Amino acid sequence: MADTAMPGSAEAADSVTSTQSAIPPPTRPAVPAARPDADDDPLDRAVWRLRSRGCWDDAAALLEPHAARHAPAALRRAALLVERCMFTATGWAAAEEALRAAEALAGDDDERGDAACERGHLAYAATVLGVRDRADEARSALGRAAALLDPAAAGRPLLDFRRGLMAEQLTDSPDAARAAYRRAHAGATAQGDILLLSFTWRHLAGLALRDGDLAEARHGFAESLRIREDLGFLVGTAPALAALAEAAPEEDAPRLRAEAARLFRLMGGVPTWLADHLSPDTAAT
């Protein structure tokens, strides 16, 4: 991993057996993407293994030979590099370059819509992480994706989720965000996109917490965390624990935050923004 923060090694990652999740706290972005099924080919499994441990550059490198001429592989590679931006706040130029290549290869409305959705998410990430205000670009790209993607398209639930993020984080419209997350949740359920479900659970839980509904918030956070544990998405475990701690009983919250801090250190300080959500005491332990 050349030009990004270095997460924990694969060996260190394999030693961790606690809960697995990639759920950022409120006001931080999230990037869902499907985990390969057990019957997928070795390339898919290798890409997932690297990605789940925060080795986005290595995962993208595996896809590079296919991405040169194959639009889905090009978009998948771009999505990995966008995710790296989200977790490390670095690598923006590489993500832009990969996304432009994917846009150039897109050959039908679904591919163009998926590429527009990814571009909107990259612009959203830059805005939310305070790198550069690209909110107008994000809105435009996600609107273009909505016009291109059929309501039954495979990429529609992810688009709905990302439009929910825009409503929640950039325009402070919780009702619009909740409606978008629910559409995404229903679509992910219908398509069997388990990882996306973990994100919709998390953000619906965040809105419940905002409304003071602790029971609903705990349920959503716990469901999201359970899914991530099942999938083995190691790089996001610490954010999940930190999010769950926000709704946990007082006797449980310190333990969750301490475990989040331990895993945050194990992954080399990734995601970089999580340090702001860990207390000095837990971050130092």
pLDDT at 36: 53
Q: Is residue 30 part of a domain?
A: yes
Closest by CA to 103, choosing from 136, 148, 36, 58, is: 148
* 119: its two tokens: 């571009």
- Alpha-carbon distance of 156 to 83, in angstroms, equals 19
pLDDT band of 16, cuts 50, 70, 90: very low
At 184-217, the pLDDT tens digits run 999 999 999 998 998 999 999 999 999 999 999 9
Over its C-alpha atoms, the chain yields an Rg (Å, rounded) of 18
Domain extent, residue 273, equals 10-284
Q: Is it the case that residue 177 has pLDDT exceeding 60?
A: yes
- Alpha-carbon distance of 166 to 153, in angstroms, equals 21
Q: Is it the case that residue 40 has pLDDT exceeding 50?
A: yes
How many domains is the chain partitioned into structurally?
Answer: 1
pLDDT band of 34, cuts 50, 70, 90: low
Type of residue at 122: L
pLDDT band of 229, cuts 50, 70, 90: confident
pLDDT band of 281, cuts 50, 70, 90: low
Q: Is residue 218 part of a domain?
A: yes
pLDDT band of 37, cuts 50, 70, 90: low
At 130-141, the pLDDT tens digits run 999 999 999 999
pLDDT at 277: 79
Using CB atoms within 10 A of its CB, is residue 152 exposed (0-12), middle (13-18) or buried (19+)?
Answer: exposed
3-state secondary structure of 5: coil
At 145-168, the pLDDT tens digits run 999 999 999 999 999 999 999 999
Mean of the pLDDT values across residues 110-129? Answer: 97
Q: Which CATH number do you get for residue 52?
A: 1.25.40.10
Q: Is residue 5 part of a domain?
A: no
3-state secondary structure of 144: helix
Sign of CA dihedral 58, 162, 93, 102: positive
* pTM as predicted: 0.84
Q: Is residue 4 part of a domain?
A: no
CB distance 282 to 275 below 8 Å: no
* 143: its two tokens: 């609107």
Q: Is residue 231 part of a domain?
A: yes
Mean of the pLDDT values across residues 247-271? Answer: 92
pLDDT at 254: 93
- Alpha-carbon distance of 199 to 103, in angstroms, equals 26
Share of the chain above pLDDT 70, in %: 84
pLDDT at 248: 93
Q: Is residue 224 part of a domain?
A: yes
Q: Is residue 265 part of a domain?
A: yes
- Alpha-carbon distance of 151 to 145, in angstroms, equals 11
3-state secondary structure of 224: helix
Q: Is residue 257 part of a domain?
A: yes
- Alpha-carbon distance of 26 to 88, in angstroms, equals 17
Q: Is it the case that residue 26 has pLDDT exceeding 80?
A: no
Mean of the pLDDT values across residues 248-257? Answer: 93
* 26: its two tokens: 């409120």
